[in-house]
């Protein structure tokens, strides 16, 4: 398998399938393409229906969209247990994974992923704070109801955790205040060797997308 990614410093959507596959111990190659590369769309459209990252290539099968990639990998490698075994827990995990895919736009726009950024508190508007409160409550609820036997949202690492890894990064980078259960969960995610591997690679990347350049909001909204 080959996973095509955007900049590791910025591409939160790329991070999601990458970290799930890493934690699951799956073998795959990767190719990183800078989000502002002049031929970005041209190269991606050859393998992806949307011309965006990430895209998984598995022989003749091409899968784009982070959650679709995660579903494909979970189905192909059932022993990786990327969904909870219990039906109720699995249904809940799918619901919150899809919620991440479709929601939280104020948080994404106010707190774009940027691993180069020093940790510093940012004043948040009401819409962003509402997103934070929802995620904090969600994590706390999952930890209380489904996490017996492990430190992740559903005990062991699942697709749901992968979908929220970039949110952990955002909360950490912008010093967002959350409750004790969510804070402990964040520490668990940030202690993963795969987290360290991704972050170390991001800090070594040569590309920079200044937040004040005209294309920044478009890049963040459409690709990241």
Average pLDDT, the chain: 92
Reported as a single tens digit per residue, the pLDDT across 120-156 is 999 999 999 999 999 999 999 999 999 998 999 999 9
Do 180 and 114 lie in one domain? The reply is yes
pLDDT confidence tier of residue 210, bands split at 50, 70 and 90: low
Q: What is the CATH number of the domain that holds 39?
A: 3.40.30.10
Do 105 and 160 fall into the same domain?
yes
Lowest mean pLDDT among 22-26, 45-49, 133-137: 45-49
Q: What is the CATH number of the domain that holds 94?
A: 1.20.1050.10
Question: 3-class secondary structure for the chain?
Answer: CEEEECCCCCCHHHHHHHHHHHHCCCCCEEEECCCCCCCHHHHHHCCCCCCCCCEEEECCEEEECHHHHHHHHHHHCHHHCCCCCCHHHHHHHHHHHHHHHHCCHHHHHHCCCCCCCCCCCCCCCHHHHHHHHHHHHHHHHHHHHHCCCCCECEEECCHHHHHHHHHHHHHHHCCCCCCHHHHHHHHHHHCCHHHHHHHHHHHCCCCCCCCCCCCHHHHHHHCC
- Pick left, alpha or beta for residue 81 (phi over 0 → left; psi -120 to 50 → alpha; otherwise beta): left
Report, as an integer, the average pLDDT of 20-30. Answer: 98
Among 93-97, 145-149, 164-168, the range scoring the smallest mean pLDDT is 145-149
Same domain, 69 and 86: no
pLDDT > 60? residue 181:
yes
Q: Is pLDDT of 42 > 50?
A: yes
- Is the pLDDT assigned to residue 221 strictly greater than 70? no
The boundaries of the domain holding residue 153 are 81-197
Residue 216 shares a structural domain with residue 146: no
Is 65 a member of any domain?
Answer: yes
Question: Are 111 and 58 part of one and the same domain?
Answer: no
pLDDT of residue 157: 98
Structure tokens at 74: 């979970």
Q: Is residue 202 part of a domain?
A: no
Counted domains in the chain: 2
The verdict on 130 and 108 lying in the same domain is yes
In the chain, % of residues over pLDDT 70: 93
């Amino acid at each position: 398998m080959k996973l095509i990614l955007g900049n590791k410093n910025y591409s939160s959507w790329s991070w999601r399938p990458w970290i799930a596959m890493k934690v699951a111990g799956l073998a795959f190659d990767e190719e990183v393409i800078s989000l502002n590369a002049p031929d970005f769309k041209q190269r991606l459209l050859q393998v992806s229906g949307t011309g965006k990252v990430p895209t998984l290539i598995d022989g003749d099968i091409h899968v784009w969209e982070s959650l679709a990639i995660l579903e494909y990998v979970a189905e192909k490698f059932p022993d990786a247990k990327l969904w909870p075994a219990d039906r109720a827990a699995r249904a809940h995990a799918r619901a919150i994974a899809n919620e991440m895919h479709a929601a939280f736009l104020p948080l994404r726009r106010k707190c774009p992923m940027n691993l180069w950024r020093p940790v510093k508190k940012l004043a948040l508007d009401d819409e962003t704070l509402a997103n934070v409160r929802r995620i904090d409550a969600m994590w706390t609820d999952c930890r209380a109801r489904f996490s017996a036997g492990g430190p992740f949202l559903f005990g062991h690492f699942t697709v749901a955790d992968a979908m929220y890894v970039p949110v952990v990064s955002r909360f950490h980078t912008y010093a967002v205040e959350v409750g004790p259960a969510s804070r402990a969960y964040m520490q668990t995610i940030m202690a993963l060797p795969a987290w360290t591997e991704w972050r170390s690679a991001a800090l070594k990347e040569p590309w920079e997308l200044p937040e004040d350049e005209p294309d920044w909001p478009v890049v963040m909204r459409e690709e990241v």
